[in-house]
Amino acid sequence: MLVRCIRLDLDCADARESTGKILSRQTAFDPQLAEVTLRACAEACHVCGEECEQHAEHHEHCRVTSLKSCR
């Protein structure tokens, strides 16, 4: 039941970590790559939040990470 939710949580965490690494490099900043990376990260978090929304009533973690909690 929560396999998709857990998978999306992990994917979102990986997207955030990778985005942080890419944006924090100190040399040869590429604005185009930064924009694409941020958009992908935002989409991963949005999809994760939508899924968590479906389980928020029964699972504390999902309640905290649902889209409603981000507003």
pLDDT of residue 69 exceeding 60, the answer is: no
Parent domain of 14: 3-70
> Pick the residue with more confidence: 68 or 11?
11
DSSP notation for 12-56? HHHHHHHHHHHHH--SS--HHHHHHHHHHHHHHHHHHHHHHHTTT
Instruction: Tell me the pLDDT of the chain averaged across its residues.
Output: 88
* Prediction pTM value: 0.82
Structural domains counted in the chain: 1
Task: Examine the pLDDT at 56 and tell me if it is beyond 80.
Answer: yes
pLDDT value of position 68? 64
- Write out pLDDT tens, residues 6-23: 999 999 999 999 999 999
